[in-house]
Structure 1
Amino acid sequence: MGVVIGTGVDLVHVPGFADQVQRPGTWVDRVFTPGERRDARSFLADASASCAAEVASLAARWAAKEAFVKAWSESLWGSAPVLGEEIHHLIEVVTDAWGRPRLVLHGEVRAALGEDIAAFVSLSHDGDYAIATVTLTRP
């Protein structure tokens, strides 16, 4: 796994997040990739699932993006930030065929972070809350 250089955690209140998602002209389309929105919608394929499951899934992905920013910031403690605040669209949560999450970094974030740093993510949501943790390691 390597040496841990940063950890981050974020907790999202799903009903509050749902209110933001439902507003016209929301920021959601700017921060989530088409793949993330598709993965969240896949919960609706289950007949017992509801739109609440889709929103909870997006909330967990938002928590992962925020947790990544916190872990990265921790790894830079004592140094100036590398990029501004508007980087969430460059942090993508993807899942494999079994639903296991992984972070894929794009553009300026990938370049600034460097190739030798690995990011590990864990997502969960239950009831009114979604949570994510991110751990950054270097070999």
Structure 2
Amino acid sequence: MTDLDEERHRIRERKKQELQDRLENGGELATSEVADASDTPAEPIGITGQGHLENVVDDHDVVLVDCYADWCGPCQMLEPTIEALAAETDAAVAKVDVDAHQRLAQQLGAQGVPTLVLYADGEPVERMVGAQTKGQLEQLLEQYT
């Protein structure tokens, strides 16, 4: 089993336990689940620097980070999908302008734009370069949320 497979397994086991706890509580969400659900923004979070990104990743179980540039055509095509994912999923969605935050983009491994980095439980678990379909991203997020 690879590290990624182990991480997926651990996340799935945690989610199973949360569901079991919910069933035992008569379908009620645990207090921590209520806080997590309501704290996930319905709009992408504009990242202002390394510390801000670290806070976002620490505050949310699953974070999809979009490294983009305003001049990038594929980034512009992906923007409505990114906004929809923020509104429709339990994952937090963050955006990093690679021109404004070049060092942070480097640290995220963004050698081209768009680059998407998925964090689960504070760790990067997936990295994709290029425009992705909404379906592809939804399927990926479902594995971790």
Which TM-score applies when normalising by structure 1? 0.27
Task: Considering Cα pairs closer than 8 Å and 6+ residues apart, tell me whether 1 or 2 has the greater RCO.
Answer: 1
- The structure with more helix, counted as a fraction of residues: 2
